């Protein structure tokens, strides 16, 4: 009474009458409502106290029709209307379902048991069972699909729960949707009576944070499964790419040295090492370079050579001559021969960027942008290995760059971005990943582009898209 803020006079079920019908299965619903009609014709009903658990049974199988009417002496009386089968279930529990065959409520029972099976199969620990108990005992909500089908969820369920309830693929690619024809994010909480529609994107992938958004055990188990599958796929791809790069450099992979390398880089799990490569957080060239150093140390290939006279020394190549005088400038041209150089992955310089060269341990040169985040540290610690550099020629090659885009969330934002890119000549989109959160979106756009002039023009056009507030080059 305190919780509901209800006075004693507001307690209607102090006295109740139960009507139990001897009804055939196929006529149960109809005859229950006929009994309801007879009662309400004789006595004034309270419409706010109507509870219809016949059309939509409780998750534990309970079916009954409850109504409160104004009886003799103007006293409120609760009337419960149900059949013998329904009464058997209410009195003796769920096992009573199996005494009856071909009944309507069996479908709900099968769904209930299926949810238990899904939670047990996909769960890693007791967390799943804790969530499952919440599904059983918390208040429930009922929402509609666009076709009018009625679905049941635990209170607090989100649009993401709805998507995973329909199909795993729909949940994995969900980017938002519509609730009662209004745009909504995957975090939006559902309420009874809502009509829900899901919007998907082929580029969308499940994220770890989705486990905090989903409320039902069914959705959480499917998200965990999808995250595991994604991690395995990315790991296989990264492993194949690393082996291919080793093969291109004609380096045989020694398993023991590779394990030593993974430990040396601070990884406890091999899967995490490959995940960092797949996410491009680890530069493959640096990995190979470190591997060679460890391999040489393990096999004593770094032993000092016998001292030779300076008279016999000859300059090996142009690179050494270039480093002799820091005032020299390395001219970067796609037709440049005789010097082993590559563009650094940490800042991805493109034609037109102010650049400098950094001489690596194996003699090759890495090209960095002047504003590279690693530039201050390189200049401070290895100033003697810095080489001035500039671009030459007219470019013509395509370079991969990543743009960070932030703005207001909008269902058509991905489509608007791709439309702009499709109209740009000599600009190729490699990937796009958009994530929405509390009315805002952020994402990374990877494109192939020729030079900084085309890049600046592209950024200007993207900023004109409605909803886009900020674009930064990574």
Rounded to the nearest integer, the mean pLDDT of the chain is 78
- All domains in the chain, ordered by first residue: 8-102 (3.30.460.10), 107-224 (3.10.20.30), 239-298 (no CATH), 318-391 (no CATH), 399-473 (3.30.70.260)
Res. 155 pLDDT band, cuts 50 70 90: confident
Q: pLDDT tens-digit profile of 101-145?
A: 444 444 455 565 566 666 666 655 565 566 555 555 446 788 898
Higher pLDDT among residues 331 and 45, named by residue: 45
Cα-based distances in Å from 137 to 11, 108, 131, 153, 218? 23, 16, 10, 12, 16
Higher pLDDT among residues 367 and 328, named by residue: 367
Greatest mean pLDDT among 189-198, 241-250, 409-418 lies in 189-198
Q: pLDDT tens-digit profile of 432-453?
A: 888 877 778 888 888 888 888 8
pLDDT of residue 319: 41
Report whether pLDDT(154) > 80.
yes
Q: pLDDT tens-digit profile of 57-96?
A: 887 788 999 999 988 887 888 999 999 988 888 876 655 5
Q: pLDDT tens-digit profile of 218-267?
A: 888 888 888 888 777 777 777 777 777 777 777 777 777 777 777 777 77
pLDDT of residue 317: 43
Res. 323 pLDDT band, cuts 50 70 90: very low
What average pLDDT does range 132-159 have in this prediction? 77
Q: Which of 151-155, 182-186, 310-314, 354-358 has the lowest mean pLDDT?
A: 310-314
What average pLDDT does range 463-474 have in this prediction? 85
- 239-274 as b/e, with b when 16 or more CB fall inside 10 Å? beebeeebeeeeeeeeeebbebbbeeeebeeeeebb
């Amino acid at each position: 009474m305190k919780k509901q803020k209800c006075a004693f006079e507001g307690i209607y079920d102090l006295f109740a009458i139960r009507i139990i019908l001897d009804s055939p299965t196929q006529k149960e619903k109809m005859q229950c409502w006929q009994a309801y009609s007879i009662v309400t014709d004789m006595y004034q009903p309270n419409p706010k106290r109507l509870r219809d658990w016949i059309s939509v049974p409780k998750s534990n199988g309970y079916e009954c029709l409850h109504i409160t009417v104004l009886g003799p002496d103007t006293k409120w009386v609760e009337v419960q209307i149900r059949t013998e089968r329904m009464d058997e279930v209410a009195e003796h529990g769920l096992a009573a379902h199996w005494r009856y065959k071909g009944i309507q409520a069996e479908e709900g029972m099968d769904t209930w048991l299926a949810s238990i099976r899904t939670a047990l199969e996909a769960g890693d620990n007791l967390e799943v069972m804790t969530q499952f108990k919440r599904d059983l005992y918390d208040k429930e909500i009922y929402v509609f699909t666009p076709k009018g089908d009625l679905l049941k969820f635990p209170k607090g369920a989100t649009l993401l729960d709805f998507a995973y309830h329909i199909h795993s693929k729909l949940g994995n690619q969900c980017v938002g949707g519509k609730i009662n024809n209004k745009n909504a994010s995957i975090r939006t909480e559902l309420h009874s009576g809502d009509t829900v529609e899901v919007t998907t994107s082929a580029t969308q992938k499940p994220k770890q944070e989705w486990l905090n958004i989903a409320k039902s055990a069914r959705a959480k188990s499917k998200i965990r499964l999808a995250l595991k599958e994604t991690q395995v796929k990315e790991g296989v791809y990264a492993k194949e790419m690393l082996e291919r790069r080793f093969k291109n450099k004609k380096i045989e992979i020694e398993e023991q040295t590779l394990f030593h390398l993974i430990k040396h880089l601070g990884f406890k799990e091999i899967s995490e090492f490959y995940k960092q490569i797949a996410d491009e957080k680890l530069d493959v060239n640096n990995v190979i370079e470190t591997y060679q150093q460890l391999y040489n140390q393990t096999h004593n290939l770094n032993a000092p050579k016998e001292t030779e006279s300076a008279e016999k020394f000859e300059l090996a190549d142009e690179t050494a001559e270039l480093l002799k005088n820091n005032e020299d400038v390395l001219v970067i041209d796609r037709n440049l021969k005789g010097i082993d150089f590559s563009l650094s992955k940490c800042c991805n310089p493109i034609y037109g960027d102010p650049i400098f060269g950094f001489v690596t341990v194996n003699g090759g040169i890495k090209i960095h942008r002047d504003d590279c985040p690693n530039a201050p540290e390189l200049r401070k610690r290895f100033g003697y290995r810095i080489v001035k550099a500039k671009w030459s020629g007219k470019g013509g090659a395509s370079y991969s760059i990543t743009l960070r885009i932030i703005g207001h969330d909008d269902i058509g934002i991905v489509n608007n971005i791709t439309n702009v890119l499709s109209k740009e000549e000599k600009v190729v989109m490699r990937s796009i990943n958009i994530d929405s959160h509390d009315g805002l979106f952020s994402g990374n756009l990877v494109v192939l582009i020729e030079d900084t002039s085309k890049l600046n023009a592209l950024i200007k056009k993207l900023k004109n898209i409605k909803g886009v507030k900020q674009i930064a080059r990574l």
